[in-house]
Structure 1
Amino acid sequence: MGNWGIAETATPKEKLKSKMADFLNGLNSVGEIGYKAYCAIFDFSMDLLDKMYDLGQTESITKEQNEELKLMLGIILESHKKGYSSLTPPIIKKVKELLK
C-alpha cells in the first residue's frame, strides 16, 4: 500500500480507516475544513466505519442502505467543507437509524 503509517499486514478494516483518516487530514491540512470540524468528522467517521464494517461482516445491508450511507457521509464532508455544520446532526441521526 502506498500510504505511510499503515502496515501492509493491517486488517482491511484498519486500511479503510487509514484511507479515511488520510483524506480528512488532507482536508484539514489545506484549510478546506477547520480543526474543530476535522475532529468532529474524524470521530464520527471512524465510529461509522467501524459499525459499517462490522455490520457488513455479520449481516448484509441492502444495496440501497449502503448507497444511502455513502451519500450521507459525503454530504457530511461537503457540508463541513462549506461551513454548513448545522446539517450534520440530522444526517448523523439518520445514519444511526440505518445502522440499528
Structure 2
Amino acid sequence: MVYDITPFLDDHPGGDEVLVTATAKDATDDFEDVGHSDSAREMMSKYFVGEVDSSTLPAKVQYKPPKATSAAGQGTGNLIKILQFVIPLLILGLAFALKQFGKKD
C-alpha cells in the first residue's frame, strides 16, 4: 500500500523527521513498532494512494561483503606503525647525543 502523508508532516506528534526517514520504502515495520492508536490507523485511510505494482519493483540485490585484504598489505601497515615509533626515538636519541657531545667542559 502507498500513502502520501505529505499533508500530515507538520501535524505528526513525533515530528516530520520520523516520517521523512521512512519515505520511499516499506515503512510497515516502522509504523507497527511504534504502537500507533486505533485512531491513527483509521486516519491512514485519508492518505491512501493505492497499491504497489509488484512487477515494477526492482530485484533485490544480494549483499556481498568486501574481500579481505592480502597479507602483503598488512605487512606494509605494520612497517609504518614500527617506523612511527622508531623514528621519533632516533630523533630524540640524536638530540640527546648532540647535547652530550656538544658540551664543553
Q: TM-score, normalised by structure 2?
A: 0.24
Larger strand share, 1 or 2: 2
| Higher relative contact order structure (alpha carbons within 8 Å, sequence separation ≥ 6) | 2
Q: Rg larger in 1 or in 2?
A: 2
TM-score (norm 1): 0.25
